[in-house]
Amino acid sequence: MTSEIPKIAPSHAPHSQYPMSRPRRLRRSPFVRNLVREHALGVNDLIYPVFVVESQAEECEIPAMPGIRRWSADNLVRHLAGAVELGIPAVAIFPVIDPSLKTPDGREAFNPNGLVPRTLVRLKKEFSQLGLISDVALDPYTSHGQDGICDDTGYILNDVTVDALARQSLVHAEAGADIVAPSDMMDGRVGVIRRALEERGFSETMILSYAAKYASAFYAPFREAVGSAKALAHADKKTYQMDPANSSEALREIALDIAEGADMVMVKPGLPYLDIICRAKDRFDVPIFAYNVSGEYAMIKAAAQAGFIDEKACVLEALLAFKRAGADAILTYHALDAARWMRQGLV
Ligand code: PBG
């Protein structure tokens, strides 16, 4: 006799706790929202990437990255004094190399008097507490813009490239890099770099491996910034950077780099790959860093400049999302703005 069964409103269905459970109670006032908040963003989570050039004449703003400039040494020091004052713990250094120094084998990468080693020496002297991260890859130095040395067909050769990366890492460590960060995606490079560092007495130099780095279109403004875009022309990096369709492969890459001696691992790009950060954090108990890359920065800036979104609110929400996904630290071009907004209590 189904007609005698009383109708139950969906909200009173047996599986619902309502009205005993009203999740909105925990959202009603700021004090309780503050008490139950699960994740927080702090200035200690931020790493600021900077582009360096030889001379003041080459300084300029990057068109697709409003607010981000190429800096020569003296102005970089002045600029970073502000970052240090804000409490930013570390910077990541990317060089813009004069085209006349670019070669097919990228040998300028391990010139001990090159732009990066000189910048490291200077920054170490000026800011003893600032963490210095140097990018290890050949793309700013190769005439073809690839991260490695090619054979006649244009295929990037793994093992000869790894040798060059180890030499580059030693030059950076010698100049004062606290962390070397291979961003090239060659196989086996973390192990070779770790051994080279140990053999030369750099046992304290850390390795931040770009372990899961995807062949992404979101790097375009960065390639303009370091000047590799023209060299690369229409070529891509798909034979070494990962396919955006893959996620389990990222876990294999990360496992290999940890086994080879990486101290921290990175997922890159950031926002479109939060699922990878989350899976990596669940699986591994090493620090996971995320790179909020140039194209992600450009999108927020462009939308904010058009008046479509509120820049502060979107930046802080996006950076918090990295923390929620499981990132321990975030490389972001928004670092200085975010630190300033956090100091003003806008979080
Ligand atoms: C290259 C390198 C890239 C970035 C960091 N290191 C670009 C690439 O792989 O082509 C991208 C960073 C960004 O887009 O902000 N070794």
Residue located nearest, by CA, to atom 7 of ligand 1: 219
User: What atom of ligand 1 comes closest to residue 293's alpha carbon?
Assistant: 15
| pLDDT at 264 exceeding the cut of 90 | yes
Residue located nearest, by CA, to atom 8 of ligand 1: 219
Alpha carbon of 13 to ligand 1 centroid (Å):
52
With a Cβ cut-off of 6 Å, ligand 1 is lined by 135, 137, 139, 147, 183-184, 219, 222-223, 237, 293-294
Asked if residue 21 is part of any domain, the answer here is no
Asked if residue 92 is part of any domain, the answer here is yes
124-175 pLDDT, tens digit per residue, is 999 999 999 999 999 999 999 999 999 999 999 999 999 999 999 999 999 9
The whole domain housing 281 covers 41-343
Pocket test of ligand 1: the residue of 50, 93, 139, 266 to mutate, having most ligand atoms within 8 Å of its CB, is 139
User: How far is residue 112's CA from residue 106's CA, in Å, rounded to a whole number?
Assistant: 14
More confident residue, 207 or 227: 207
| pLDDT at 9 exceeding the cut of 90 | no
Asked if residue 163 is part of any domain, the answer here is yes
Alpha carbon of 28 to ligand 1 centroid (Å):
43
Asked if residue 8 is part of any domain, the answer here is no
Asked if residue 10 is part of any domain, the answer here is no
Q: Give backbone dihedrals phi and psi of 39, rounded to 5 degrees, phi first.
A: -135, 150
**Sequence-separated (6 or more) residues with CB below 8 Å from residue 206:** 178, 179, 180, 263, 264
| Strand 329-332 relative to strand 156-157, pairing | unpaired
User: What atom of ligand 1 comes closest to residue 218's alpha carbon?
Assistant: 14
For residues 133-148, one letter each, b for 16 or more C-beta atoms within 10 angstroms of the residue's C-beta and e for the rest, the string is bbbbbbbbbbebbbbb
User: What atom of ligand 1 comes closest to residue 333's alpha carbon?
Assistant: 15
CB-CB contact of 216 with 244 (8 Å): yes
235-249 pLDDT, tens digit per residue, is 999 999 999 999 999
Residue located nearest, by CA, to atom 2 of ligand 1: 183
Residue located nearest, by CA, to atom 11 of ligand 1: 219
Whole-prediction pTM value? 0.94
CATH number at residue 221: 3.20.20.70
When pLDDT is averaged across residues 182-203 and rounded to a whole number, the result is 98
265-278 pLDDT, tens digit per residue, is 999 999 999 999 99
Asked if residue 314 is part of any domain, the answer here is yes
Q: How confident is the model at residue 284 (pLDDT cuts 50, 70, 90)?
A: very high
Pocket test of ligand 1: the residue of 222, 266, 271 to mutate, having most ligand atoms within 8 Å of its CB, is 222
| pLDDT at 304 exceeding the cut of 80 | yes
Alpha carbon of 97 to ligand 1 centroid (Å):
15
Lowest mean pLDDT, pick from 3-7, 45-49, 78-82, 125-129: 3-7
Asked if residue 25 is part of any domain, the answer here is no
Alpha carbon of 278 to ligand 1 centroid (Å):
22
* Cβ atoms within 10 Å of 78's Cβ, excluding its own: 11
CB-CB contact of 248 with 324 (8 Å): no
| pLDDT at 111 exceeding the cut of 80 | yes
The set of catalytic residues is 213, 268
User: What atom of ligand 1 comes closest to residue 213's alpha carbon?
Assistant: 9
Asked if residue 30 is part of any domain, the answer here is no
Q: How many domains does the chain have?
A: 1
